[in-house]
Structure 1
Amino acid sequence: MHRTIACATAAILVAACGAPNDPAIANGSAPQASSAPVATDGRPFAVTPVTTLDSPWAMTFLPDGRMLVTEKGGRMLLVQQSTGGNAVTWPVQGIPAVDSEGQGALMDVVAAPDFARSNLVYFSGSVTGAGGKGVKLWRGRLVHDAEQGARLEGVTELFSATPFVSGDGHYSGRIAFAPDGQHLFFTNGERQKFDPAQDPKATLGKVLRLTLDGKPAGDPGLTARGFHPAVWSYGHRNLLGLAFDAQGNLWEQEMGPKGGDEVNLILPGRNYGWPKVSNGSHYDGRDIPDHKPGDGFEPPKVSWNPVISPGGLLVYTGAMFPEWQGDLFIGGLSSEALVRVDVNGTNASKGDQWPMGKRIRDVEQGPDGAIWLIEDGEGGRLLKLTKAG
């Protein structure tokens, strides 16, 4: 799976994390959402609310089926679904302070590929520092016991976007581990500054490749041309989804300007064009040249106008919906939708767009193949999608 760990036995993780056997202890909080499934309304899945959160941003599954969820304001939660279908949550201590103004947040969270052994968690967030604001990548070890609850120990900063600039938008901050287990990919948005996406010295508007310790490991061809040594691809805007498929292809989605939301196949060394080209326009109506054959820029595989405002990105690999294996699922923010993209090798096309009635911030796959969503904003719910009927 693109960001989840293959399911292992609960006994392994309980022993590793020191988690209490009784989910009601260690200050776990009671769920706030009804667990009754919602009518499908013609959709091919049933929707079960699991719990209510405060402006959730991202989620990741642990090998025993528990989850980590981040909230915009800077809180991380350990979530365990109970036998009744609801959830018990514990606040995770030890999280660095973040700047959550505007689009700032405690952002992505992903369990390390070897989490069952290491208990390591990678996460990102926006902060204030010299020169303005930017996004950082951290790593810490998850510990959970009855005496002290859930916490991250040994939190270390691995990478920081450069440069820090003014403003509160387009941080990005998505994380995906490479299939080789030796590298991770990290997105840095162009911070609503346009030109940094084409600046070889900046990490803004780029997909970055790093070692597991956060060392730059970008495309050698770009590095030889004077790019920042972490840069893998460039010419991006606000990259809010990143995922590998089973064939090792790296898919990315990003918000365009007025129109022009994109799904891209990320290839090393390629220039994806922003702000020189886009299938959308500036918010003030000024034209931006569209992608055209032979223009020297890598075109999107799929684009939307009107926009869907894409949130998180999932490559589906589960057994619950076998007809969708290998397809992309995107959370729609302004579109208040769950969006499916058909994938055929390295090609993609629009599939379904199901109305959800709320802004969808992130989408993830559970160990049993269920699709999980989080709604954006205060009171956003954690939702489980299962086969209808």
Structure 2
Amino acid sequence: MPTCKQTLFISYLLLTPVLASASETFTTDEADFRLTTVARGLEHPWSLAFLPDGDILVTEREGRLRRIHQNQLVKAPVAGLPDLVVSGQGGLLDLQLHPDFESNHTLFLSYAHRTAQGMTTRVAKATLEGNRLVDVSVIFEALPRSGTSRHFAGRMAFDNSGYLYIAVGDRGDMDRAQDTQDDAGGVHRITVTGSPAPGNPGMGRSDINDTLLTWGNRNIQGMTVHPDSGAIWTHEHGPRGGDEINIIRPGTNYGWPEITYGIGYTGLPISSLTEKPGMAQPLHYWDPSIAPSGMAFYTGDQFPEWQGDLFVGALKMRKLVRLEIRDGKVQEEEDILTGLGERIRDVRNGPDGSLWLLTDSSDGKVLRLDPVQ
């Protein structure tokens, strides 16, 4: 007989009839892989995280948090999400597990939020109990709010010291990114309780917001931790061209919009400068734009040929990009899955050493890359 707890678990585990599809085989410069659709039918999935029990959590931009159990999508969304708004590029965005999730079941969600003063990016902390979030509390809110529905950013990552990094876009108002008393257009670093992290450049100063770590960032959609150095790496959307990969360093101005390798959507220049004293140069940039989203260094053991390579999803160009990094520089770039026709929203290392992707559409998919034996 099942226990009460097991019965409750079974009761919400009404699985959608979506089984892993037959896999396809692909050949790349360094490795061959099988691509398997683990789940589909997700509405603009944005982020995923692997739970210690083998389940997977996936955010849908449309405002739902979903669970995948034994390679099947649980029909009932996770309950108890914070109040959020779905508007334009905003909705439910990134998901990060607490570094001690296995013992405390704490996770963090970024999302768009609206009041009478406008919309902004928020981060909430919550505890996962079964298929419900409890003890939900807002620990970060970017101010001031605005009426636009663009450039919420929302990507997050934990560094090796346990501090949470949060990207906030320029909200479609480029000049905000150079204002260090404005939370837009930068990366913020906080503790798990929402306090400014020690060592932030604005601590004890009135001219820099105390959670702000960097500024001059347009709209960061990829964030990951370097497996050796522990540094936080990001990429961000340029306008027409000028997508950038950057290494996040406290107190650094990344230049937007005073310097850029892109031009405006009208075809007119945004700036005549691509470099300026006191502003960082990107490690790598794309022109024309690929619209990067999601990013991970491959750290598994299933693809030894890919060890340490950086994988970046692309929305506009609908592909996965592999970058070989040596001595802090991109030595090789390879386009993968160019014929798939899917907007790649997120890229993650799986606990089994495989590489996982999310596709951004109204019939979004969870994809897994495994080596060909």
TM-score, normalised via structure 2 length: 0.92
Match of 2:193 among 209, 213, 223: 213
Question: What aligned pairs does 1:39-118 form with structure 2 within 5 A after superposition?
Answer: 39-40=25-26, 44-52=32-40, 53-82=42-71, 86-88=72-74, 90-118=76-104
- Runs of 4+ residues deviating >6 angstroms: none
Pairing 1:310–2:298 present: no
Q: Are 1:174 and 1:239, in contact at CA under 8 Å, matched by a contact in 2?
A: yes
Pairing 1:361–2:345 present: yes
Pairing 1:233–2:217 present: no
Identical columns (%): 36
Aligned to 1:10: none
Q: Output the CA distance in 2 between the equivalents of 1:21 and 1:322.
A: 42
Unaligned 5+ segments in structure 1 are 1-17, 145-149
CA deviation after TM superposition for structure 1 residue 41, in Å = 5.8
- Structure 1 residues 50 and 227 mapped into 2: Cα distance closer, same or farther (>3 Å)? same
Q: Are 1:257 and 1:282, in contact at CA under 8 Å, matched by a contact in 2?
A: yes
**CA-to-aligned-CA distance 1:297-349 (integer Å, 9 cap, x gap):** 10110100111101111122111112222222111101110111222243334
Unaligned 5+ segments in structure 2 are none
Aligned to 1:15: none
CA deviation after TM superposition for structure 1 residue 27, in Å = 3.5
Aligned to 2:368: 384
3-state SS of 2:103 partner: helix
Match of 1:193 among 161, 173, 183: 173
Q: Are 2:154 and 2:166, in contact at CA under 8 Å, matched by a contact in 1?
A: yes
- Structure 1 residues 33 and 344 mapped into 2: Cα distance closer, same or farther (>3 Å)? same
Q: Are 1:218 and 1:229, in contact at CA under 8 Å, matched by a contact in 2?
A: no
3-state SS of 1:173 partner: coil
Would you say how many aligned residue pairs link Structure 1 and Structure 2? 363
**CA-to-aligned-CA distance 1:28-68 (integer Å, 9 cap, x gap):** 32243542112326672210001111211111111222111
CA deviation after TM superposition for structure 1 residue 88, in Å = 4.3
CA deviation after TM superposition for structure 1 residue 252, in Å = 0.3
Question: What aligned pairs does 1:1-389 form with structure 2 within 5 A after superposition?
Answer: 20=6, 25-32=11-18, 34-40=20-26, 44-52=32-40, 53-82=42-71, 86-88=72-74, 90-144=76-130, 150-181=131-162, 183-217=163-197, 219-223=199-203, 224=205, 226-246=207-227, 247-287=229-269, 288-292=271-275, 295-354=277-336, 355=338, 356-389=340-373
Q: Output the CA distance in 2 between the equivalents of 1:103 and 1:236.
A: 17
Q: Are 1:66 and 1:81, in contact at CA under 8 Å, matched by a contact in 2?
A: yes
Q: Output the CA distance in 2 between the equivalents of 1:289 and 1:244.
A: 32
3-state SS of 2:24 partner: coil
**CA-to-aligned-CA distance 1:179-230 (integer Å, 9 cap, x gap):** 012x110011000100110101111001110011111227544443620001
Q: Output the CA distance in 2 between the equivalents of 1:19 and 1:40.
A: 43
- Structure 1 residues 121 and 99 mapped into 2: Cα distance closer, same or farther (>3 Å)? same
TM-score, normalised via structure 1 length: 0.88
Mean Cα deviation higher: 340-349 or 110-119: 340-349
- Structure 1 residues 22 and 157 mapped into 2: Cα distance closer, same or farther (>3 Å)? closer
Q: Are 1:175 and 1:186, in contact at CA under 8 Å, matched by a contact in 2?
A: yes
Q: Are 2:202 and 2:211, in contact at CA under 8 Å, matched by a contact in 1?
A: no
| Aligned CA-pair RMSD | 2.1
CA deviation after TM superposition for structure 1 residue 256, in Å = 0.4
Q: Are 2:201 and 2:212, in contact at CA under 8 Å, matched by a contact in 1?
A: no
Q: Output the CA distance in 2 between the equivalents of 1:89 and 1:310.
A: 30
